[in-house]
Amino acid sequence: MATIAVLGTLDSKGEEHAFLAALIQQRGHQALLIDVGTVGPPTVVPAVTREEVAATAGLDLAKLMAKKDRGECVIAMTQAAPRLLAKLVAEGKIQGVISLGGGGGTAIATAAMRALPLGFPKLMVSTLAAGNVAPYLGTKDITMMPSIADVAGLNRLSRVIFTRAAGAICGMVESEPVLGAAKPLVVASMFGNTTACISEAKKVLEAAGYEVLVFAATGAGGRIMESIIESGIVAGVLDVTTTEWADELVGGVLTAGPERLDAVAKARVPAVIAPGCLDMVNFGERASVPERFAGRLFYQHNPQITLMRTSVAESQQLGKIIAEKINRYTAPAALMIPRRAISVISAPGQPFHDAAADEALFSTLKAETKLPVEEFDLEINQPEFAQACARKLIGLMQAQR
């Protein structure tokens, strides 16, 4: 029997959450009803009161509610609810969480869910589930289920949706993942232009007894990889596709944010870094490229993706940024530079070949970094470079033991 947290604004959605709790109990599990409402009094009796939730963050809820500022109250609960749920999970008191909500309820509940580990069952039934849910999901595995109609009372439609939702969260907590043999975990970054490199490196790492998780360097992929590294479950990092920093610096659409490359320092995990695909900034279709970039060198990757070549000045800036980030690494780490090409299309004779921009990047990296640097007269996707990166990381991980 599992205990499932039923998190909700019980002043306005009490009936609906109580219905969910009853359905969960009918399936043989316990339901822990948690109130995060801040407007009127709760319409049902919670197991955890809003005052108890607020207290986990040191908030004076009565003072906040007296202001009658709903926005401020919602923000306060988005700070408190994550602390409460994280504490309950750490203490083993809950095995899943579910919530129903509109805008405010979704903001509070998903903030709490984002504080929980990957793999922990999380289900949000929301009026917002049919739109852009990226701000609510962050980098976590929150399942968003459309409420179809507004979450406003029980009716013939909502009873069906809520019943299915209760069944879904119960099914999640009842399903025990089969993890297979426990092997040390390595994470790797990849782009279409570095696929061959990662594919070859993956073979070497797997042959040495490691499990490899590959993340697409598309913004969200980089953020998720960072969160996985920071979680402490990773033995090593093969970050050969650092391209998201080009988008962050120049203004492309695939940025992973300014925290990209920070997690290795926090987790103190061995890493191999390479400047893969720092020759390109990503935009959507050609018409979407900002006017300020008129006259730059572009490459149409497909009708939906336009690539722009980074300039000499931008490459120099990228070298400084990458060096500054990796200089904070305290675990064994190394910088690997493939001098002949950092992507498929930057090789000699290819559209983005620019020896001056590459040299600006490489020379700045070498001058600014404190890490050991290894240079190769190879393209990033040549098997020899991929194998060298994999073997280097294996050596660093063995040295860390």
Res 67: pLDDT: 81
Q: Do domains 3-174 and 185-400 have the same CATH topology?
A: yes
Burial class, 248, CB count within 10 angstroms (exposed 0-12 / middle 13-18 / buried 19+)? buried
The pLDDT of residue 63 is 83
Token readout for 102 is 């509109």
pLDDT at 178: 75
pLDDT at position 180 is 64
Decide if domain 3-174 falls under CATH 3.40.50.12020.
yes
Q: What is the CATH number of domain 185-400?
A: 3.40.50.12030
Tokens of 325: 């980030």
pTM: 0.74
- Domain definitions of the chain by residue range: 3-174, 185-400
| pLDDT, position 179 | 64
Phi, psi (degrees; rounded to nearest 5) at 163:
-65, -45
Partners of 187 in the β-ladder: 213, 237
- What pLDDT score was predicted for residue 181? 66
pLDDT given at position 350: 97
Extract the residue ranges of the chain whose pLDDT is less than 50: none
Of 280, 274, 380, which Cα lies nearest the Cα of 335?
Answer: 274
CA distance 81 to 386: 45
